[in-house]
Amino acid sequence: MRKLISSFIRYIETEKGYSIHTIRNYESDLRQFTKFVASKRGLKKGAPGIDLVDYMLIRSYLGVLFDRCRRTTIARKLSALKSFFRYLELRGLAPLNPVTEIATPRQERHIPTYLPVDDMFALLEQPDRQKEWGLRDLAILELLYSTGLRVSELVALDIEKLDLNSRLVRASGKGGKERLLPVGRKAIAAIREYLENTEKRRKKAGYSKCQGPVFLNYRGGRLSARSVNRLVKAYSRKCGIMTEISPHSLRHTFATHLLDGGADLRSIQELLGHVNLSTTQKYTHVSIDRLVEVYDKAHPRS
């Protein structure tokens, strides 16, 4: 099984173009499944063969997962198994596909965490504009709220992907798919000021004026997603926001505020880079909750 898993991982990396996060998760999930098969079949040494896996073993594995994991995690692990066995089936490497008849568990519906407009504006007021890192942090917050970028897309952003004059940014999303996004004037102004104030630092780090990462850390390297997460949490605490938020919360805030402002769901889908509209539809729940709240406050008979 280990050799087959390695072959599958190379396939989804080189031929399917899966994101690095999906590849890492799938590999971990399949290694975990291999250990489960070995323990269930009483193997103490060596990796189990693929012929030891059948429908009942998969069901037993899912039973263990239901006691330990959330449904979203179980769905991902099952997706890894389905993709793996589909790959083996297409290449004639497995005698049967034991996952075909197994349905993905129904997912819990989570309403995304987002900030009201006033709280979002208060968050944007927190960075110190008199300091270089304050300018950087302001540019980060403005760009996240202005475009709905994923934090992975934000930290991977290079200067050449920015068109400040046309107010556009080219983002590389999941699976390497690119999309062109409009950027608000406030965000453009914040980015422009930050870039102007870091010219010397960029030159010292070996970057030209038009190349290199947009957002730098203290050593002149590319800023990490973990650092962005820390700064978002720090500024939210500073302005007294009680809700636990993350960079992804600003993506939710971007989508929710657009929907409340009258944007259609298809346009929001394109801006967020969602493949399926069903992924975007979770934001309608947020807006419906807001409509009910407004109705309850305004209608005499509510």
Per-residue confidence band for 196, with pLDDT thresholds at 50, 70 and 90: very high
**CA 180 – CA 173 distance, rounded (Å):** 11
Answer yes or no: pTM beyond 0.75: no
Please, what is the average pLDDT of the chain? 87
Locus of tokens 């302005």: 239
For residue 181, the SS3 value is strand
Q: State pLDDT tens for residues 38-50.
A: 888 777 666 788 8
Average pLDDT over residues 22-41: 90
Q: Where in the chain is the domain with CATH 1.10.443.10?
A: 117-298
**What pLDDT is attached to residue 72?**
83
Residue 274 annotated in active site: yes
Largest CA distance in the chain: 73
Mean pLDDT of 46-58: 84
Interior angle at CA 104, CA 101 and CA 110, nearest 5: 170
Query: Does residue 264 register a pLDDT over 90?
Result: no
Q: Is 251 part of the annotated catalytic residue set? A: yes
Query: Annotated catalytic, 290?
Result: no
**82 annotated active-site:** no
Fold of 2-90: DNA polymerase; domain 1 (1.10.150)
Spatial distance between the Cα atoms of 209 and 233, rounded to a whole number of angstroms: 31
Active site residue 41: no
**pLDDT at 123 (0 to 100):** 96
Does the active-site annotation cover 114?
Answer: no
pLDDT confidence tier of residue 107, bands split at 50, 70 and 90: low
pLDDT at 32 over 80: yes
Percent of the residues in the chain that have a pLDDT greater than 90, as a whole number: 47
Tell me the pLDDT tens digit for each residue of 118-137: 999 999 999 999 999 999 99
What is the mean predicted confidence (pLDDT) over 218-225? 92
Enumerate residues 6+ apart whose C-beta is below 8 A from 50: 1, 4, 88, 93, 94, 95
Banded pLDDT at 286 (limits 50, 70, 90): low
Residues of the chain with CATH 1.10.150: 2-90
Structure tokens at 11: 């396939």
11-25 pLDDT, tens digit per residue, is 998 888 787 888 999
Cα end-to-end span (Å), the chain? 61
Catalytic residue among 18, 26, 145, 150: 150
CATH number of 117-298: 1.10.443.10
139 phi and psi angles, rounded to 5 deg: -60, -40
Q: Which of 71, 174, 192, 201 is catalytic?
A: 174
Q: Do residues 222 and 155 lie in contact, with contact meaning Cβ atoms separated by under 8 Å?
A: yes
| Strand, helix or coil for residue 90 | helix
